[in-house]
Amino acid sequence: MADGTDQRVTTQWFDGGFCNMHFQSTDHSRWRLKLGPGGSHAWKYLASDEENKAWPQTDIDRYWLGMALNLPPLPAPSNALDASRNGYTFLRNLQAPDGHFAGDFGGPMFLLPGVVIGSYITGASFTAEQRQEMIRWLLHVAHPDDGGWGIHVGGVTTVLGTVLNYASLRLLGVDAEHPAAVKARMTLLKLGGAAASPTWGKFWMTVLGCYEWEGINPIPPELWLLPGWVPVHPGRWWIHTRVVYLPMSYLYRVRFQAEPTALTLALRKEMYTTPYDSINWPAQCDNFAPGDVYVPHSRLLDYMNLFLKGTLEACPFPPLHKYAVDHAYELICMEDENTNYQDLAPVSKMMNMICRMHAEGRDSDAVARHAAGREDVMWLTRDGMLVTGTNGSQLWDTAFAAQALVETGLADIEENKASALKMLEWLDQAQMQENPKHFRTAYRQATKGAWAFSTKEQGYTLTDCTGEALKAVLYLQNRWHDSPKLISDARIFDSVDLLLSMQYTDGGFGSYEVPRAPKILESFNAAEVFGNTMVEVTYVECTTSVITALRTFQQYYPQYRKKQIDRTVAKAIKYLHAKQRPDGSWYGSWGICFTYAAMFALESLALVGETYASSPRVKRACEFLLSKQMPDGGWGGELEVLRRRDVRPTREISSGPDELGRDGAHVRQIPRYDAHQTRRRARAVAPVTGKFSLPYQPYFVPN
């Protein structure tokens, strides 16, 4: 069609009624996962028969595409160890040649729109096959009842999710009159239209040219000019908020909007309840659909917005604005260079890409490098192509696989040893051995000795990733008499030094950095849809990853900084004591929340001699977990637990091997007479895990 829409659409009937419209799948037998240096990956479509024949599809490709695998059947397990053996026999076939494990890291529904909108603005194209699979994904995860989208897969429909993903569908080529588009649009309009979107939605629509800057509360880059010791300086904010605010503030001050096109002009007509030209934009600044608001604006934030509108915005001072814009742009360039244009995550990456285009032009090297890096965050599944939360979860998955292999004894099986050594080789190259190129000037945490969540290239320290990777390295380098010592003592000491430097005053550990600002700064949270996002905080999971790493380190290096490590662990244990809830649980910020946090906490407490027999805290935690065991023997968890902060179950079956493996921690803490029934019920789940499949959709949900 004239506006570039794509008509390759079919309707399908499924059991249970009429499902959302379904774009035809591409030929999945022609897709290949190209694995590059350091753990990079990109899905490639081979259009010609010659290419297809020359590059055979692997079981890694087929697994993630939901296709039949060329693997022999495994023997039926009779116990948990047999199931584990079968599990790793299967998992070994999904290991990349360089030793890491690639996989899906999706979930949030604001990731793909950022890549689509940013690409449209900057002129970066997608292949026809990529477009087709992204459309399939969006239609697959649309709400079955109202056709809209939430903030994450499976979430209730919101204005933010619907406006971003509806616009993405249209930009990818879906016609406005396609039934799925009509259904989503009607839902969006019922909820108040794009004008009722939270700030993130207003921002993306503005830079696209489908909203106006007058309808957004101030996002001043001038904050970057404040002295670094001022608590509200963005350099003191939580890193994810900081790196998103940076390009947003640049684009806000230069009032960037993409040139209008026939398609964006059409979107102006489609997404609003009143004609676009009649909208009172200033009145929309605080117009947020009630269902989208997780954290309402504080009165302090409202006063600050009024103050900024009456000063910086009402009385512009061009020299100051230019200085702020120039400084913000310098920081944007530093972020790109520190991460080889990966940036912290896809949201900030695409915003940075727009900034670089605005300053240097579409044909600049910076825009080209950003465009090329998009494939690192585009992941193909059997249901279509999504965008991942970072450029993967390579380090996280590989570190836990290595630990499991050693702790179960499976590493000693000859056919597994080569796989284990490959993991060690990958962990060796993945460690960051120096601080960022732009370190203090870019407000970065030290990285020397650290591991990132995904790859070395991404370049961000994480305490839990560093702790888990350090444990994996120590296990593998000391498992056999001929274990290679790829990572030197000096590099191991670098990791320990880094972890010791990151403990906060409350005894806990944050994720990326030591907390830099008081919690009162949360009063300035302007995101509406997220809580606890303004400052770094300490986490039960991160703290326990560090505790277990330091205690494991002491087994092999008992004299290195012994007093400092003992003090650090003692403070961290007190933190865990303080964070335990009256019912015996701990609130977790990732994974399946309560059971996930309990696994970490109980392991840490056991390492300092606190057991079911000796510690009332541990006994209370074990009894809590026993009370939540499902009838089938496993444990479950749901996304809404994170928001509700309670553990009321809404289903009666476990979530499978993920929960079973994690909750084994509490079984080890319980005396035989108490654990017998728990183990007997858990064994019932073992045959399920023996068939072994990775959790298909590992989601992270901001709390």
User: What DSSP line would sit under 224-249, residue for residue?
Assistant: GGS-TTSTT-GGGS-HHHHHHHHHHH
Give a yes or no: residue 54 inside a domain: no
Helix (H), strand (E), coil (C) string for 107-140: CECCHHHHHHHHHHHHCCCCCHHHHHHHHHHHHH
Same domain for 86 and 162? no
Query: Is a pLDDT exceeding 50 seen at residue 693?
Result: no
Token pair in block for residue 144: 């079955």
Poorest-confidence range of 146-155, 396-405, 637-646?
637-646
Same domain for 246 and 117? yes
How far is Cα 679 from Cα 662, in angstroms, rounded to an integer? 14
Q: Which residues does 330 contact at the CB level (< 8 Å), separation at least 6?
A: none
Amino acid at 686: A
Give a yes or no: residue 445 inside a domain: yes
Given 464, 494, 658, 663, which residue is catalytic?
464
The pLDDT of 125-145, averaged and rounded, is: 97
Highest mean pLDDT, choosing among 19-23, 406-410, 688-692:
406-410
* Domain total of the chain: 3
Per the CB < 8 A criterion, the answer to whether 545 and 590 are in contact is: no
The band of 635, judged by pLDDT with boundaries at 50, 70 and 90, is confident
Give a yes or no: residue 100 inside a domain: no
The band of 7, judged by pLDDT with boundaries at 50, 70 and 90, is very low
Same domain for 554 and 411? yes
Q: Which residues does 107 contact at the CB level (< 8 Å), separation at least 6?
A: 152, 153, 389, 697, 698, 699, 700, 701
The pLDDT of 337-363, averaged and rounded, is: 98
Burial of 280 (0-12, 13-18, 19+ CB in 10 A): exposed
Same domain for 397 and 372? no
Give a yes or no: residue 305 inside a domain: yes
How far is Cα 384 from Cα 140, in angstroms, rounded to an integer? 8
What pLDDT does 13 receive? 20
Same domain for 292 and 249? yes
What pLDDT does 642 receive? 62
| Helix residue ranges per DSSP H, 191-316 | 199-208, 239-254, 262-270, 299-308
Query: Is a pLDDT exceeding 50 seen at residue 698?
Result: no
Same domain for 567 and 687? no
What pLDDT does 224 receive? 98
Same domain for 456 and 513? yes
Same domain for 361 and 405? no
The pLDDT of 129-155, averaged and rounded, is: 96
What pLDDT does 593 receive? 83
How far is Cα 108 from Cα 388, in angstroms, rounded to an integer? 8
What pLDDT does 652 receive? 42
How far is Cα 574 from Cα 295, in angstroms, rounded to an integer? 30
pLDDT in tens, 195-209: 999 999 999 999 999
Active site (annotated) includes residue 98: no
Give a yes or no: residue 647 inside a domain: yes
What pLDDT does 638 receive? 65
Poorest-confidence range of 215-229, 266-280, 549-563, 588-602?
588-602
The pLDDT of 112-135, averaged and rounded, is: 98
How far is Cα 221 from Cα 323, in angstroms, rounded to an integer? 9
Query: Is a pLDDT exceeding 50 seen at residue 695?
Result: no
Poorest-confidence range of 13-22, 219-228, 264-273?
13-22
Poorest-confidence range of 2-11, 112-121, 665-674?
2-11
Could you tell me the residue range of the domain that residue 379 belongs to?
A: 111-387
What pLDDT does 397 receive? 97
pLDDT, the chain, mean? 89
For position 115, which CATH number holds? 1.50.10.20
Give a yes or no: residue 558 inside a domain: yes
Give a yes or no: residue 66 inside a domain: no
Neighbours of 699 (CB within 10 A): 17
Per the CB < 8 A criterion, the answer to whether 699 and 106 are in contact is: yes
How far is Cα 46 from Cα 24, in angstroms, rounded to an integer? 17
Residue that is last in its domain, among 531, 554, 579: 579
Poorest-confidence range of 292-306, 402-416, 630-644?
630-644
Task: Decide the pairing of beta strands 41-45 and 31-35.
Answer: antiparallel
Q: What angle do CA 349, 352, 354 make, to 5 degrees?
A: 115
The pLDDT of 253-268, averaged and rounded, is: 98
Phi-psi region of 507 (alpha: psi -120 to 50; beta: other; left: phi over 0): left
The pLDDT of 320-344, averaged and rounded, is: 98
pLDDT in tens, 362-399: 999 999 999 999 999 999 999 999 999 999 999 999 99
The pLDDT of 16-38, averaged and rounded, is: 76
14: three-class secondary structure by DSSP: strand
The pLDDT of 8-30, averaged and rounded, is: 52
Q: Containing H/E element for 34?
A: strand 31-35
Same domain for 485 and 496? yes
Per the CB < 8 A criterion, the answer to whether 135 and 226 are in contact is: no
Has this prediction a pTM greater than 0.85? yes
Phi-psi region of 66 (alpha: psi -120 to 50; beta: other; left: phi over 0): left
Q: Which residue from 172, 168, 178, 129 is spatially nearest to 29, judged by alpha carbons? A: 129
How far is Cα 349 from Cα 374, in angstroms, rounded to an integer? 9
Higher confidence at residue 593 or residue 88? Answer: 88
Higher confidence at residue 234 or residue 21? Answer: 234
Distance of CA 624 to the CA centre of its chain: 28
Q: Percent of the chain, pLDDT > 90?
A: 82
Residue that is last in its domain, among 331, 361, 387: 387
What pLDDT does 467 receive? 98
Residue that is last in its domain, among 364, 387, 410: 387
Same domain for 325 and 404? no
Give a yes or no: residue 9 inside a domain: no
Same domain for 236 and 357? yes
Same domain for 277 and 417? no
